[in-house]
Amino acid sequence: MVLEIYLFIDPLNRHCYDAEKTIDKISSKLKTSVSVRFVSMLNIKILNDVAAHREITNFNHELPFNMVLDSKAASFQGKRFGRHFLMDLQRELLINAEDYNDDLVLGLAEQNGLDCDMFREDRRSQLAKKMFHTDQQMAHEMSVKDPSTAVLFNSAVDNSGILIKDYDYQSLFSFCDRSIHSAKHFEALTRQEKANPRIIKYPLSF
């Protein structure tokens, strides 16, 4: 039995950064029973919100998109590489107030053990851009409107998932742990009325 967690993120949102650390901690504690994917969300509303409440210097509207492409390039060498690279980049920009530039990005790639030559080739590749558009399609298919939303699927329960917002580490860890050891309560939730916005279908774009 495997629990799949899709976390929808705005890469320049501090709340998303905290949510990513929470999900990564849960994944590490539950180990092989959990598959995690960070799904980027970038649209006009999110970009305007970032610009209005920016926490970094030298902001431009291409920055979040470039961050996503960088993380996609890192993820081509392994999903965990992609997640940890992105969180390290967010830490430098959001917490340490560093400027985004090639030296910073390539330095983090090296620190994370990436093949830097491959990473350079992939950063602005058509495949990275295609994966970005796949993320946007996935957010649409799952009817996710807000960053830091998590969607969970249990491999033992058909194709229905649970959408979760406003969680903390302990509550989400408890839910994930129960779902892995017994699918009954997860299945019961997915059998609720289809009109319930918490119940969604497995994404076609994945």
Contact 136, 109 (CB under 8 A): no
Whether the pLDDT of residue 46 is over 90: the answer is no
Q: What is the per-residue pLDDT for 179?
A: 83
pLDDT per position as a tens digit, 155-181:
888 777 889 988 889 999 988 888 888
10-32 per-position pLDDT tens digit: 999 999 999 999 999 999 998 77
Query: Where do we find the tokens 């994945």?
Result: 206
Please give the pLDDT value at position 189.
73
**Stretch(es) of the chain classified as CATH 3.40.30.10:** 7-141
In the structure, what pLDDT confidence band is assigned to residue 193 with cuts at 50, 70 and 90?
very low
Domain 7-141: CATH superfamily, name plus number: Glutaredoxin (3.40.30.10)
Among the ranges given (59-68, 93-102, 189-198), the one the predictor scored with the smallest mean pLDDT: 189-198
State the average pLDDT over residues 87-103: 95
